[in-house]
Amino acid sequence: TEFFYYFPYFCAMPKEFQFQVSPEAAANEDLLVKKVAQFCKIGASDIQKVVVLKRSIDARQKSIKINLKGKAFLVGEEYTDSKIELPDYPNVENKQEVIVVGAGPAGLFAALQLIELGLKPIVLERGKEVRGRRRDLKAINVDGIVNEDSNYCFGEGGAGTYSDGKLYTRSKKRGDIDRILELFVGFGATPDIMVEAHPHIGTNKLPQIIQDIREKIIACGGIVLFGTRVTDFVLKNNQIEGVVLQNGTIITAQKVILATGHSARDIFELLYKKNILIEAKPFALGVRAEHPQSLIDKIQYSCDYRGEFLPPAPYSMVKQVNGRGIYSFCMCPGGVIAPCATSPGEVVTNGWSPSKRDQATANSGIVVELKLEDFKPYQQYGPLAGMEFQKAIEQKAWQLAGETQKVPAQRMVDFTQNKISTNIPKTSYVPGTTSIEMGQVFPGFLTQIMREGFLQFEKSMKGYLTNDAILHAPESRTSSPVRIPRDDFSLEHLQIKGLYPCGEGAGYAGGIISAAIDGEKCALKVAESLK
Q: CB under 6 A: which stretch of 95-103, 311-319, 366-374, 443-451 binds ligand FAD?
A: 95-103
**Alpha carbon 387 to chain centroid distance?**
20
Residue 340 touching ligand FAD (CB under 6 A): yes
In total, the chain counts a number of residues equal to 531
Q: What number of chain residues touch ligand FAD (CB under 6 A)?
A: 43
- Applying the rule CB under 6 A, the residues between 350 and 379 that interact with ligand FAD are 350, 352
3-state secondary structure of 433: strand
Among 50, 124, 257, 471, binds ligand FAD (CB under 6 A): 124
Q: Pattern 202-231, binding to ligand FAD, x per CB under 6 A?
A: ---------------------------xx-
Residue 491 touching ligand FAD (CB under 6 A): no
Note whether 93 and 221 are within 8 A (CB): yes
Residue 104 touching ligand FAD (CB under 6 A): yes
Q: CB under 6 A: which stretch of 8-16, 28-36, 99-107, 280-288 binds ligand FAD?
A: 99-107
- Applying the rule CB under 6 A, the residues between 235 and 254 that interact with ligand FAD are none
Residue 375 CB, nearest approach to ligand FAD (Å): 22
Closest to 263 measured CA to CA, from 352, 364, 171, 155 = 155
Q: CB under 6 A: which stretch of 9-17, 213-221, 410-418, 504-512 binds ligand FAD?
A: 504-512
Surface-to-core class of residue 13, CB atoms within 10 Å of its CB (0-12 exposed, 13-18 middle, 19+ buried): exposed
Residue 105 touching ligand FAD (CB under 6 A): yes
Residue 121 CB, nearest approach to ligand FAD (Å): 14
User: Distance between CA atoms of 463 and 304, rounded to whole angstroms?
Assistant: 13
Q: Nearer Cβ to ligand FAD, position 16 or 215? A: 215
The pairing of strands 336-339 and 120-124 is unpaired
Residue 433 CB, nearest approach to ligand FAD (Å): 18
Buried b (16+ CB within 10 A) or exposed e, 444-459: eebbebbbebbebbbe
Q: CB under 6 A: which stretch of 10-18, 160-168, 212-220, 462-470 binds ligand FAD?
A: 160-168
Residue 517 CB, nearest approach to ligand FAD (Å): 11
User: Distance between CA atoms of 286 and 457, rounded to whole angstroms?
Assistant: 15
- Applying the rule CB under 6 A, the residues between 140 and 159 that interact with ligand FAD are 152-155, 158-159
Residue 513 CB, nearest approach to ligand FAD (Å): 6
Residue 201 CB, nearest approach to ligand FAD (Å): 8
Residue 511 touching ligand FAD (CB under 6 A): yes
Note whether 484 and 501 are within 8 A (CB): yes
Q: Give the max Cα distance, the chain.
A: 86
Q: Nearer Cβ to ligand FAD, position 48 or 190? A: 190
Residue 392 CB, nearest approach to ligand FAD (Å): 20
Among 116, 129, 136, 164, binds ligand FAD (CB under 6 A): 164
Q: How far is CA 456 from CA 52, 319, 320, 395, 461, in A?
A: 38, 7, 9, 29, 9
Q: Where are the alpha helices (DSSP H) in 172-254?
A: 174-186, 206-219
Q: How many other C-beta atoms can be found within 10 angstroms of the C-beta atom of residue 27? A: 14
Residue 338 touching ligand FAD (CB under 6 A): yes
Residue 371 CB, nearest approach to ligand FAD (Å): 22
Residue 427 CB, nearest approach to ligand FAD (Å): 16
User: Distance between CA atoms of 475 and 394, rounded to whole angstroms?
Assistant: 9
Closest to 507 measured CA to CA, from 342, 264, 330 = 264
- Applying the rule CB under 6 A, the residues between 251 and 270 that interact with ligand FAD are 259-261, 264, 267
Q: Nearer Cβ to ligand FAD, position 160 or 186? A: 160
Which strands, in side-by-side order, build the sheet including 15-21? 15-21, 65-74, 47-58
Beta strand extents in 221-357 (DSSP E only): 223-225, 230-236, 239-245, 250-252, 256-258, 279-280, 284-292, 318-321, 324-332, 336-339, 349-352
Among 14, 23, 70, 107, binds ligand FAD (CB under 6 A): 107
Residue 165 touching ligand FAD (CB under 6 A): yes
3-state secondary structure of 509: coil
The pairing of strands 256-258 and 97-101 is parallel
Q: CB under 6 A: which stretch of 12-20, 60-68, 213-221, 500-508 binds ligand FAD?
A: 500-508
DSSP 90: P
Q: Nearer Cβ to ligand FAD, position 453 or 503? A: 503
- Applying the rule CB under 6 A, the residues between 14 and 73 that interact with ligand FAD are none
Residue 297 touching ligand FAD (CB under 6 A): no
Residues with Cβ within 8 Å of residue 327, at least 6 apart in sequence: 284, 316, 317, 318, 319, 366, 367, 369
User: Distance between CA atoms of 236 and 70, rounded to whole angstroms?
Assistant: 56
Q: Which residues bind ligand FAD (CB under 6 A)?
A: 101-107, 124-127, 152-155, 158-160, 163-166, 229-230, 259-261, 264, 267, 330, 338, 340, 350, 352, 503-505, 509-513, 515
